[in-house]
Structure 1
């Protein structure tokens, strides 16, 4: 019974932990001196786990892609990422461009700017674009052995010098491998999670985490004592530097940290109140992710930039305190998520976030093994909860 509960709980807790870290990061960046607060510094420990954990779980529940045709992939999966992306990404961009226009004197961009950012996955909602691209790559590599698919997942490294100009290149270097591993090694991950916090699981996870942390720290230290430059053998620049190579280092470090991240999620599942809260967040990831930046822009940035209120960590008045506005920022983020949740309860409007199946859906069920049926039933159960 315990193992079953952990298998059902840890993905939601992992997503909840991930989305809370994302919101806290964005609030910390928005509030003056927010990144210097204790909670922001604590949140930095989640940097190697936050988005990788999200994409690991996303890949874990994408194994059904192996059984789909390209048409079925679009109808039963990509459609549900594309609709909220195409509708809400331009809204978020417009609100942010309007802020720059009002307070920085920038001109409002034309439709070409919006299309350019949408088609390159540049913007706050890049993760939806990434899920579309990653699922397509997963489908394209479905017939490869697992090791071959993982090898392909590292291929964005070949485009490494482009990451500063093409936003999605950097994201693919960082998160495509963990997504592909989540899908191709779903059963191994499930078996690992079913083992819970056994001595074997914990010891191996801690060793991998310690090694990964040491590599990451050594890499950062190396940059402070030497100028890192490596000859680039492919077309493009002659050399690549620390900022290019750290994407590759971070990608490998994150992978090594994933077992400990799963262990952490399982340990949190044993803390009653906290686990319920994280599961709640994990089951409402979409509205939280889409809603909080909209609310921060409209309710915080529009108003605070208009009044130009000085805010600092050592302010004498609570009204000028960074800590106070960090709390307000989290409340505002919750309001944004709540508003979008309300939209999911309104007929027709809810389709902007949770689109209906297309009317020409007529995919023929594929013959599945008993294990596939059980896996899909588990996916549906987790999704509905």
Structure 2
């Protein structure tokens, strides 16, 4: 009895992510078209921490603690007036290479500041909180049988709910599951003095930091909805790239990662998370190779941004407009997308949040059109009632 392709995919992944590659690539060359990978950051990324408007005099006044590193050591992002936090050096280098663009004020129409409602509105892609299908499923239906879709998640995310079901390829669980006691000490001794030992110590430190944040309320576990921890994203990204490179029919992909709900002690937590994110995007570029990277567009987004003003515990609270990143070999990068009106109170949503100047539906539809040459009619079926702001990527 022949094995089902989806079962084979799951079995191959379960046998160890680092061994993925040609051994299980299935038949079918696919057409020489683009590819879209959506990376969804659950928890509400503070985009102003990652890419900061250092030219705005209000920034240091509103964020006297959270801006110290970027003002002292930030990486300028061209003539945009923004600089990347030192933890985002990898992303800044992609920007400088012309392979990454950003929008500081992107998001959905949701103003509830609820993780779950904002995530649902994003994944449904209709501007509503309920519906029978997600935008990725509708996009897969429009692409038809010539192209396949894959979700690097433990289950089918809301974005892929609907008639067109993706391949499911879980790469990581949401927990670290590091050993403890004598076994952990034995592992430390075995890897002492080796590069793997340094990586092990980093994982232990990250686990401890995240566990502390969950315990004291600095971070909400439920906001991640079971997504993999961002600290493991670089390894996940390498495995995803191998899967995509050896399976050219896979043209639509989705992955979510957690660890961005930073209500307190944000400097350390978010710097670690952003470093992992940047390392992962660079790993995608390296593992895909030059040819596949030129076909690929990577869109990074979160359900909302954070408050412009830092709170009293060294963190930020749920906001509105947030950061969009668009990377890829064919992306016209090195620039800021959409607009930014500054941090003056008159330009803020309810006097506290960045506004949404670029709707995610427009960002996604423009990127899909560039990737797959979809018609406006098809895009209207994927994103009904989208504002129709064209994003040149």
- TM interval, shorter chain, is under 0.3
Point out the structure with max Rg over C-alpha. 1
Q: Which has the higher helix share?
A: 1
Instruction: Pick the structure with more strand per residue.
Output: 2
- Give the structure-2-normalised TM-score: 0.26
